[in-house]
Amino acid sequence: MSGFILANSVLTVFLVILAILWFILPFAIFGTKKKLDLLIESSGETNRLLAKLAGENTESTTTLTSEVQAEQIDEVETKKNDNEINLELIEQLKGIKAVGFNKKFSACDICHLGKTGQIISNHYVCSNCKTKYL
């Protein structure tokens, strides 16, 4: 008999809590709706302003991007011509299979072009040099 009373009490408490939540739920939904409407309105305003800015800067951005790309290509070509491959290091590292990784990136010790975190015997080696020379 006491098991029935305990189950009945638990069920009653559950139903009371459920009724309270059921009563509060519409207020929570309508309170959230105002905030969502405000958020949608402000994101629409932001998108409109971004579109306006993008329209104003399209021409200057395109010119600037082309100039930057040309400068970067020139830098890479200059580095390729100026830097020599470190043949001594290649001979020293040949056959070593143990590869480590470092959070700090640095220029490749062989070609001096690529930035890498890959380390072979305490020397930074980019993937291209590892594949090509080792």
Count of C-beta atoms within a 10 Å radius of residue 124: 21
Question: Are residues 45 and 37 in contact, defined by beta-carbon separation less than 8 angstroms?
Answer: no
**At 17, is the pLDDT very low, low, confident or very high (cuts 50, 70, 90)?**
very high
Burial bucket for residue 114 (CB in 10 Å: 0-12, 13-18, 19+): middle
Q: Which two tokens stand for residue 4?
A: 């029935």
How far apart are the C-alpha atoms of 14 and 77, rounded to whole Å?
A: 75
- The reply to whether 8 and 68 lie within a common domain is yes
Each residue's pLDDT tens digit, 91-100:
888 888 888 8
- The reply to whether 76 and 132 lie within a common domain is no
How far apart are the C-alpha atoms of 31 and 53, rounded to whole Å?
A: 34
- Reported pTM: 0.39
Q: Which two tokens stand for residue 16?
A: 């009371």
Strand order from edge to edge, sheet including 100-107: 100-107, 115-120, 123-124
- The reply to whether 26 and 11 lie within a common domain is yes
Quote the domain boundaries for residue 95: 85-134
pLDDT at position 15 over 90: yes
What mean pLDDT is reported for the chain? 80
- The reply to whether 90 and 77 lie within a common domain is no
Given this model, what pLDDT does residue 53 score? 82
pLDDT at position 119 over 60: yes
- The reply to whether 8 and 59 lie within a common domain is yes
- The reply to whether 64 and 93 lie within a common domain is no
Given this model, what pLDDT does residue 12 score? 95
- The reply to whether 57 and 91 lie within a common domain is no
Given this model, what pLDDT does residue 20 score? 93
- DSSP structure class, residue 16: H
Give me the number of domains the chain comprises. Answer: 2
Each residue's pLDDT tens digit, 125-134:
988 888 888 7
